[in-house]
Amino acid sequence: MAEVEQNIAALLSEERVFEPPADFAAGAIVRDRSPYERAEADLEGFWAEQAERLTWFRKWDAVMDWDPPWVKWFEGGTLNASYNCLDRHVEAGGGDKIAYYWEGEPGERRAITYGELLDEVCRCANALKSLGVERGDRVAIYLGMIPELPIAMLACARIGAPHSVVFGGFSAESLRDRIIDAEAKVLVTQDGGYRRGSEVPLKANADEALKECPSIEHVVTVRRSGGEHPFTPGRDHWYHELIAEQPPECEPQEMDAEDILYLLYTSGTTGSPKGIVHTTGGYLTGVAATHRMIFDIHDDDIFWCSADIGWVTGHSYIVYGPLANHTTGVIYEGAPDWPDRDRLWEIVERYKVTILYTAPTAIRAFMRWGTEYPEKHELSSLRLLGTVGEPINPEAWIWYWKFIGRKRCPVVDTWWQTETGMILITPLPGITRLKPGSATFPFPGVHAEVLDDQGNPVPPGGGGYLVLTHPWPAMLRTIWGDPDRYVTTYFGKYGPNIYLAGDGAKRDEDGYFWLLGRIDDVMNVAGHRLSTYEIESALVDNSKVAEAAVVSRPDELVGEAIVAFVTLKSSYEGTDGVAAELREHVANKIGKIARPHGIIFTTDLPKTRSGKIMRRLLRDVARGRPLGDVTTLANAEIVEQIHEMVDSGTGEE
């Protein structure tokens, strides 16, 4: 067998280019290359100017202190994140602006102004203090998408207690593990939430988790679904009773720039979740600057990031970035297909959403459901679309642009991670020529490169490891309780100066970055290192396919054989004929080397609770191995189904 190539093969070539629409460009926040030039000339000066858009109690002494791999930003500066998100806007006369339109899954609606949000955050902060929460104590938050979620986060920020939000779709065990790891003192939860018409038993899960969480002294429960719940006297409190007694004023703590704002665990796509630590000054600077420039935020925008606040996307682009920029946002509690598959489009129409930010996994679901759902609604308020979470296949990008943006709206494909805190690779929609499937260029002041195994830059057209060669303000500071894991995970491969993202990437001849999926998922086929993304994109390029995941399994002939798991659009059936067609389609589109050996049709793919495809489980299935950790899986049943299909040999050549 040939020696395995060092670099990741780059097979896909995407020729379509989209210029910024002229009217969009004319009114955009960023209309020329000056932010890139400014950051190029004086990186620290650029970030200092972004930081100056926030309100500081005390100005910093130094912009950045880099003692690789440890970094500090804006040391000596003091500020408060909740003050920056709320008080300063209210003080400037902006208290009547809507902060959030909230919509419950069953249909309730609430509009919350900045002034109202500030009052309630103060009451909640006072309530936490009354329970003994002090600066530095961790507060776990296990809530669905209700207004009390951002309120509790901002209340923690106000008093300097790092929050650890645990996604409301997680099980009791996942909650328990995260509470134990963070040694949280108080838990804020709710009785029940709504998802697809049924109740999510958050409090019951919390009670189960708390059997093994000795650090928790108090539990605060928000009443949402009603009904009876066992309360432990002395430990359990109703949120509404607690805050009713509290005054709507609470002095914000003066926090150091480097004080911890929050911990957040990664989604666990590749392994056990890591407790990512974010601090205050650099994080807020990074999320506010990226939110404003990438989403082109104007005063009258209605910005809807449809992620769950339980993920970093929601932390940065539902809560901290938008509020720091005094933006009006939308929060929707439930499922996109409840009561029908047009719920999101109904919401866009109702609130006249101007900017929508969602995930490729959602877009692929919309593709599978069909265009009749968005077509039922008036979507003309939209002017900009965004995606995050996974590489977006060019066909999914085009679908989003065409059927949601109606060919008017630029699409910003934003690459970032829980660890990066803020978007790092992204178009700026008023100036960047877009290529579907490419996250385009590093944000001003961000230095990204693609390296080979030895640490040499990979020439244009080749694939390799995505790295960041200079710190950025919202970068993680460490892994909670495990600084060694911080060093080895992110700085183990190329040394302490170079952050390893764990994703594969290539740059094309024009310098565009293309994300190729996770390094762990790269396959060795007949001497070539193939990324999953390009083969999946070639499959999704076929008009019958909605979603695909490819993995490899050992094969006597070629070393590793490619197995593709494919979900078709709802009007097609997975016959042997279609399997043959798809194999040929991939061979024609990107080359024979990438032709899948086996095609397995499935109704869904195993996904994390944040909606990312979990290839490591499909790999186990394809190799007939016992399944690895499935606790972060959203749809465990599908793995069983796929297992049975593989055992019966469907779709093999």
Residue 479 Cβ, how far from ligand ATP at the closest point, in Å? Answer: 11
Measured from the CB atom, the residue of 172 and 359 that comes closer to ligand ATP is 359
State how far the Cα of 111 lies from the Cα of 28, in Å rounded to an integer: 27
> Which distant-in-sequence residues (6+ apart) come within 8 Å of 472 by Cβ?
282, 286, 420, 422, 424, 445, 446
Which tokens is 85 given?
Answer: 């998100």
Residue 108 Cβ, how far from ligand ATP at the closest point, in Å? Answer: 29
Residue 136: left (phi > 0), alpha (psi -120 to 50), or beta? left
Give yes or no for residue 611 binding ligand ATP (CB under 6 A): no
Interacting residue with ligand ATP among 256, 259, 296, 390 (CB under 6 A): 390
Give yes or no for residue 519 binding ligand ATP (CB under 6 A): no
Cβ atoms of residues 635 and 611 within 8 Å:
no
Give yes or no for residue 166 binding ligand ATP (CB under 6 A): no
State how far the Cα of 579 lies from the Cα of 598, in Å rounded to an integer: 8
Tell me the three-class secondary structure of 118-152, residue by residue.
HHHHHHHHHHHHHCCCCCCCCEEEECCCCCHHHHH
Residue 391, preceding peptide bond in cis (omega within 30° of 0): no
Give yes or no for residue 432 binding ligand ATP (CB under 6 A): no
Measured from the CB atom, the residue of 194 and 415 that comes closer to ligand ATP is 415
**Amino acid letter for position 645:** M
Measured from the CB atom, the residue of 327 and 418 that comes closer to ligand ATP is 418
Given the rule CB under 6 A, which of 132-140, 235-243, 396-404, 409-417 is the region that contacts ligand ATP? 409-417
Residue 113: left (phi > 0), alpha (psi -120 to 50), or beta? beta
State how far the Cα of 389 lies from the Cα of 612, in Å rounded to an integer: 7
Nearest Cα residue to 136 out of 279, 272, 289: 279
Give yes or no for residue 440 binding ligand ATP (CB under 6 A): no
Give yes or no for residue 273 binding ligand ATP (CB under 6 A): yes
Interacting residue with ligand ATP among 268, 322, 463, 606 (CB under 6 A): 268
State how far the Cα of 536 lies from the Cα of 548, in Å rounded to an integer: 5
Residue 643 Cβ, how far from ligand ATP at the closest point, in Å? Answer: 22
Residue 412 Cβ, how far from ligand ATP at the closest point, in Å? Answer: 9
Given the rule CB under 6 A, which of 4-12, 93-101, 228-236, 501-509 is the region that contacts ligand ATP? 501-509
Give yes or no for residue 114 binding ligand ATP (CB under 6 A): no
Measured from the CB atom, the residue of 515 and 568 that comes closer to ligand ATP is 515
Measured from the CB atom, the residue of 117 and 424 that comes closer to ligand ATP is 424
Give yes or no for residue 436 binding ligand ATP (CB under 6 A): no
Measured from the CB atom, the residue of 126 and 440 that comes closer to ligand ATP is 440
Looking up tokens 């069909």 gives 370
**Amino acid letter for position 91:** E
State how far the Cα of 125 lies from the Cα of 129, in Å rounded to an integer: 6
Nearest Cα residue to 213 out of 249, 240, 186, 236: 186
Give yes or no for residue 270 binding ligand ATP (CB under 6 A): yes
# residues near ligand ATP by CB under 6 A: 26
Given the rule CB under 6 A, which of 98-106, 125-133, 230-238, 414-422 is the region that contacts ligand ATP? 414-422
Residue 488 Cβ, how far from ligand ATP at the closest point, in Å? Answer: 14
Interacting residue with ligand ATP among 188, 288, 411, 439 (CB under 6 A): 439
State how far the Cα of 170 lies from the Cα of 633, in Å rounded to an integer: 9
Nearest Cα residue to 568 out of 581, 551, 555, 587: 581
DSSP code at position 253: P
What part of residues 293-322 is at the interface with ligand ATP (CB under 6 A)? 311
Given the rule CB under 6 A, which of 223-231, 269-277, 397-405, 546-554 is the region that contacts ligand ATP? 269-277
Given the rule CB under 6 A, which of 62-70, 302-310, 336-344, 383-391 is the region that contacts ligand ATP? 383-391
Question: How many of the other CB atoms lie within 10 Å of CB of 502?
Answer: 18
Give yes or no for residue 518 binding ligand ATP (CB under 6 A): yes
Give yes or no for residue 414 binding ligand ATP (CB under 6 A): yes
> Which distant-in-sequence residues (6+ apart) come within 8 Å of 470 by Cβ?
43, 446, 447
Given the rule CB under 6 A, which of 299-307, 411-419, 480-488, 619-627 is the region that contacts ligand ATP? 411-419
Which tokens is 633 given?
Answer: 């899986």
Given the rule CB under 6 A, which of 268-276, 468-476, 598-606, 637-645 is the region that contacts ligand ATP? 268-276
Cβ atoms of residues 419 and 490 within 8 Å:
yes
**Amino acid letter for position 315:** H
Give yes or no for residue 503 binding ligand ATP (CB under 6 A): yes
Give yes or no for residue 612 binding ligand ATP (CB under 6 A): yes
Site map for ligand ATP, 565-604, x if CB under 6 A? ----------------------------------------
State the maximum Cα–Cα separation within the chain, in Å, rounded to a whole number: 74
Residues forming contacts to ligand ATP in the complex (CB under 6 A) are 266-271, 273, 311, 388-391, 413-418, 439, 501-503, 515, 518, 610, 612
